[in-house]
């Protein structure tokens, strides 16, 4: 479970900013939220099932998700995916002379296999400057390892790291190297990162492939079909058909992958068919018509199919799903229903977590979110992003209209557009040279 994530000196984040999933001591107007939206963690802080990040365009919402995605990718791939001279894909805050030559900062606190960890690193494009890993064995946090430049110091508990110091390149993470050598703790942590999905609501490619992998399992197929049918899309059922032309093309290009002794499937070689009822002039059912998902269904329907696999997997396994532009192409009521699945002990018994960025103000509802589940990003006059929670505002009543107050600018994080004439050069907003 995600407890908090901190990023600093990365893209639009100049100073460290922290997204916290820790439930504060607030009391909601709808007392149900204080039960359904809160995860009770034995021996640790209570956590939240979901969080939504709002902000004007270009305020840094997507950079927050990208920072988490970079950390995940670097942890999973730095030991093997980067050559000895390869660069690290970090981008410092470029609008200040203070930060442009300093390393970027990433830290995450989470629970994996019933144990709390705090892991982080600082890196520039050519090397890892610092790296650290702590855990909580009982009441107090204890060090597992620390890295300062080329010097790595291990605690007596982290025996799996012994002898790996010299095997760790300057541009690779020590944690990733330890996981590559099958260290138990390191593998536990990298598996937690692997289980966390980070996606963009504007690109369905990865989500769709994940959904298609569920179709090999009859139960997975039934779950996806039930999910899609339950969203009032006028779809009776789903059917998967092989695209023989593409399969033959793949077979010719990648013969080793299609060897007789290998059970391998290419998601892109399948066509998804949606089944719709066909009626006669008097309204009597005459049969079923097959439509091609990609050619005949809406953008929103295609996105929901693509999302279904990751949503269902997260709920079933109790993992984290981070989604940028989650509401893109979706009706507000459908977006709300998907969030409600996570904010429900009945539908989310494994207590999975959902973190989204969104522009849908309909979701700013005190019957859906607690105040500590709502976050905002806003840039200052120097172009730096600041991240803050609605729970930080004093005097916000439990019965307040979060949506109305947000649109009116009470919480900031909205665009200040001025006179429309500034856009066209007409009227009072006209500027002169």
Q: What is the CATH number of the domain that holds 100?
A: 3.40.50
Domain boundary among 284, 309, 334: 309
83-109 residue pLDDT tens? 666 789 999 999 999 999 999 999 999
224-282 residue pLDDT tens? 999 999 999 999 999 988 777 777 777 787 777 666 555 555 656 678 999 999 999 99
* Structural domain boundaries, residue 229: 203-309
Q: Quick one: 304 and 327 in the same domain?
A: no
Q: Quick one: 40 and 119 in the same domain?
A: yes
Q: Quick one: 58 and 8 in the same domain?
A: yes
**Confidence band of 432 (pLDDT split at 50, 70, 90):** very low
Residue 413 lies in a domain: no
Among the residue ranges 200-209, 249-258, 393-402, the one predicted with the least confidence is 249-258
Q: Quick one: 47 and 186 in the same domain?
A: yes
**Confidence band of 316 (pLDDT split at 50, 70, 90):** very high
Residue 238 lies in a domain: yes
Q: Quick one: 150 and 183 in the same domain?
A: yes
More confident residue, 346 or 84: 346
Q: Quick one: 182 and 116 in the same domain?
A: yes
Residue 315 lies in a domain: no
Q: Quick one: 60 and 165 in the same domain?
A: yes
Q: Quick one: 288 and 212 in the same domain?
A: yes
Q: Quick one: 189 and 217 in the same domain?
A: no
Q: Quick one: 23 and 137 in the same domain?
A: yes
Q: Quick one: 209 and 192 in the same domain?
A: no
Which residues are within 8 A (CB) of 290 and not within 5 positions of it... i.e. 6 or more apart?
239, 273, 274, 275, 276
More confident residue, 391 or 431: 391
Q: Quick one: 145 and 209 in the same domain?
A: no
Domain boundary among 309, 338, 372: 309
Residue 121 lies in a domain: yes
Residue 253 lies in a domain: yes
Residue 90 lies in a domain: yes
Number of domains in the chain: 2
Ordered alpha helix ranges (H), 232-296: 244-253, 293-296
Residue 426 lies in a domain: no
Residue 378 lies in a domain: yes
> What is the b/e burial string over 265-304, where b = at least 16 CB atoms within 10 angstroms of the residue's CB?
ebeebbbbbbebeeeeeeeeeeeeeeeebeeebeeebbbb
């Amino acid at each position: 479970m995600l407890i908090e994530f901190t990023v600093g000196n990365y893209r639009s984040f100049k100073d460290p900013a922290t997204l916290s999933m820790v439930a504060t001591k607030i009391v909601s107007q709808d007392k149900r939220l204080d039960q359904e939206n809160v995860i009770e963690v034995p021996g640790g802080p209570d956590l939240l099932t979901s969080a939504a990040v709002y902000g004007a365009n270009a305020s840094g919402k997507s950079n927050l998700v990208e920072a988490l995605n970079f950390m995940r990718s670097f942890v999973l791939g730095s030991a093997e995916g980067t050559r000895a001279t390869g660069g690290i894909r970090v981008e410092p805050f470029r609008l200040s002379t203070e930060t442009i030559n300093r390393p970027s900062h990433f830290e995450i606190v989470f629970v994996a296999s019933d144990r709390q960890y705090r892991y982080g690193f600082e890196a520039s494009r050519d090397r890892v400057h610092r790296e650290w890993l702590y855990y909580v064995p009982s009441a107090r946090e204890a060090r597992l390892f620390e890295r300062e430049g080329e010097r790595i110091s291990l605690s007596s508990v982290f025996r799996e790291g012994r002898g790996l110091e010299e095997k760790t390149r300057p541009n690779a993470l020590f944690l990733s190297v330890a996981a590559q050598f099958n260290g138990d703790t390191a593998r536990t942590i990298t598996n937690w990162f692997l289980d966390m999905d980070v996606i963009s609501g504007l690109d369905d490619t990865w989500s769709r492939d994940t959904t298609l992998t569920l179709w090999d399992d009859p139960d997975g197929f039934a779950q996806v079909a039930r999910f899609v049918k339950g969203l009032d899309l006028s779809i009776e059922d789903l059917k998967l058909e092989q695209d023989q032309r593409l399969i033959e093309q793949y077979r010719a290009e990648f013969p080793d992958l299609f060897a007789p002794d290998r059970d391998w499937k290419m998601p892109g070689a399948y066509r998804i068919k949606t089944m719709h009822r066909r009626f006669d002039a008097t309204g009597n059912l005459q049969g079923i018509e097959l439509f091609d998902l990609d050619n005949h269904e809406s953008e929103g329907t295609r996105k929901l199919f693509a999302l279904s696999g990751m949503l269902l997997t997260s709920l079933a396994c109790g993992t984290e799903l981070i989604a940028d532009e989650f509401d893109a192409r979706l009706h507000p009521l459908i977006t709300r229903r998907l969030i409600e699945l996570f904010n429900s002990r009945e539908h989310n018994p494994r207590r999975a977590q959902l973190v989204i960025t969104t522009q849908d103000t309909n979701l700013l509802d005190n019957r859906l979110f607690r105040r500590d589940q709502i976050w905002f990003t806003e840039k200052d006059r120097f172009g730096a992003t600041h991240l803050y929670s609605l729970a930080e505002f004093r005097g916000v009543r439990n019965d307040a209209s979060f949506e109305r107050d947000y649109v009116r600018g009470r919480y900031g994080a909205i665009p200040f557009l001025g006179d429309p004439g500034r856009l066209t050069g007409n009227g009072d907003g006209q500027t002169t040279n």
